[in-house]
């Protein structure tokens, strides 16, 4: 990987700058710096990752998506033999869990891409796009996700943003994604290398876009998996005895624990994640979360990408414009 530039803040335009989310004072000491460097930003083609030193998962990821130059490559075409090849990013060896987490006993979860494999899969040619897509297969970009969520609702939301909105309409979009790293996260039932691993129970996504080239807008989403982790005995509740005065106020809401995906306003994501996002128009102003419902539909052929099947779904209540 030759000196990638990573996420670009002025991707949507010089007057529509969207910088990386800013961590709060309490979180700055937890940023995992690159080995032998003062920087804490892992840069890849078209995207960047910032890791948590304590949790060994990303605080957040940031990706630029260029729908006009999206290359519809298949996942099997990226690696010799057609099988995924995940790697540890040697620039931050102490800041990420690797294969040992995903092969441990009772690890009934996926390597959940935070930057979706296809999001940075764009460029002037297929080689450029393929290199960018392969660069999402670093464990630094991965968080355990229960398969039902990773492979259905959350995936459909990601496909909606990329294929139905960005690629079909040739839009440029910035997407930030991350887990909520809470002290209340449940604990994986199998210690990994002698350590207890807390599995994030809530994930967020913030999307920036412009409909007219002048106004910057943003929308946000949350997905919960805590209930499934506990029900399937993949994780157990973290003991709180003796820590009552130290734990923050509960940051999980019951209506995010039923394995569904919700549209919310960005203020809620900031409250839960402890991050601060670049200002923009937030068209979803309701303080109540709105559950995103999948609807099976037959898309018109004009909505399909050349050579690609229709997405076959619609997200009810989703507001991107």
In whole angstroms, give the CA distance from residue 46 to residue 8.
7
Does residue 169 form part of some domain?
Answer: yes
Residue 26 parent element (H or E): helix 25-28
The answer to whether the predicted template modeling score (pTM) of the entire model surpasses 0.95 is: no
- The reported pLDDT for the residue numbered 196 is 96
The tally of domains found in the chain comes to 1
Does residue 12 form part of some domain?
Answer: no
In whole angstroms, give the CA distance from residue 166 to residue 174.
10
Cβ-in-10-Å burial (0-12, 13-18, 19+) of 172 comes to buried
In whole angstroms, give the CA distance from residue 132 to residue 127.
9
Print the domain residue range for 41: 22-77+94-243+252-316
- The reported pLDDT for the residue numbered 307 is 43
Q: Strand runs (DSSP E) across the chain, as ranges?
A: 22-23, 41-44, 47-51, 58-66, 110-113, 142-145, 172-179, 187-188, 202-209, 217-224, 235-236, 261-264, 275-276, 290-291, 293-295, 314-316
Does residue 192 form part of some domain?
Answer: yes
- The reported pLDDT for the residue numbered 296 is 54
Does residue 86 form part of some domain?
Answer: no
Beta strands 290-291 and 235-236, pairing class = unpaired
Residue 222 is part of a domain; what is its CATH number?
Answer: 3.40.570.10
In whole angstroms, give the CA distance from residue 235 to residue 227.
10
Q: What six digits make up the tokens of 8? A: 């670009």
Does residue 4 form part of some domain?
Answer: no
- The reported pLDDT for the residue numbered 240 is 67
DSSP string over 226-277: HHHHHHTTSEEPPP-TT-TTTSPSP---GGGSSS-EEEE-HHHHHHHH-EEP
Q: What six digits make up the tokens of 315? A: 């997200």
In whole angstroms, give the CA distance from residue 311 to residue 164.
8
Does residue 114 form part of some domain?
Answer: yes
Place of tokens 């995010």: 256
In whole angstroms, give the CA distance from residue 69 to residue 166.
10
Q: What is the mean pLDDT of each run of 10 residues along the chain (321 residues)?
A: 82 95 84 89 97 96 95 89 90 94 94 93 95 96 84 74 78 94 94 95 93 90 89 89 45 48 90 94 84 56 40 56 55
Under 8 Å between Cβ of 205 and 9: no
- Please list, in sequence order, all residues whose beta carbon lies within 8 angstroms of the beta carbon of residue 65, skipping any fewer than 6 positions away: 46, 119, 120, 122, 161, 162, 166, 171, 172, 173, 174, 175
Under 8 Å between Cβ of 209 and 217: yes
- The reported pLDDT for the residue numbered 299 is 38
Does residue 197 form part of some domain?
Answer: yes
143 in helix, strand or coil? Answer: strand
Q: How long a stretch of residues is the chain?
A: 321
In whole angstroms, give the CA distance from residue 167 to residue 67.
4
Does residue 11 form part of some domain?
Answer: no
- The reported pLDDT for the residue numbered 285 is 83
- The reported pLDDT for the residue numbered 269 is 93
């Amino acid at each position: 990987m030759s000196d990638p530039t990573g996420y670009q803040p002025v991707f949507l335009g010089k007057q529509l700058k969207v910088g990386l989310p800013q961590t709060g004072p309490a979180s700055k000491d937890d940023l995992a710096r690159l080995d032998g460097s003062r920087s804490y930003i892992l840069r890849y083609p078209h995207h960047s990752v910032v890791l948590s030193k304590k949790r060994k998962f990303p605080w957040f990821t940031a990706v630029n998506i260029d729908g006009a130059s999206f290359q519809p490559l298949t996942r099997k075409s990226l690696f010799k033999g057609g099988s995924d090849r995940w790697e540890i990013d040697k620039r931050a060896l102490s800041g990420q869990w690797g294969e040992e987490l995903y092969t441990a006993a009772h690890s009934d979860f996926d390597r959940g891409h935070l930057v979706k494999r296809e999001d940075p899969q764009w460029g002037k040619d297929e080689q450029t796009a393929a290199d960018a897509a392969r660069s999402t297969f670093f464990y630094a970009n991965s968080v355990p996700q229960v398969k039902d969520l990773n492979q259905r609702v959350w995936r459909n939301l990601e496909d909606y943003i990329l294929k139905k909105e960005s690629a079909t309409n040739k839009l440029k979009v910035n997407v930030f994604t991350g887990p909520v790293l809470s002290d209340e996260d449940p604990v994986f039932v199998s210690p990994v290398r002698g350590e207890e691993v807390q599995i994030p129970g809530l994930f967020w996504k913030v999307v920036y876009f412009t409909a007219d080239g002048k106004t910057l807008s943003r929308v946000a989403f949350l997905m919960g998996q805590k209930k499934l982790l506990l029900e399937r005995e993949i994780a157990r509740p973290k003991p709180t005895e003796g820590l009552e005065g130290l734990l923050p106020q509960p940051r999980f809401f019951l209506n995010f624990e039923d394995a569904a995906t919700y549209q919310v306003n960005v203020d809620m994501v900031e409250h839960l994640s402890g991050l601060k996002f670049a200002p923009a128009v937030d068209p979803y102003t309701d303080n109540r979360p709105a559950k995103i419902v999948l609807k099976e539909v037959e898309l018109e052929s004009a909505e399909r990408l050349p050579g690609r099947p229709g997405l076959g779904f619609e997200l009810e209540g989703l507001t991107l414009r």
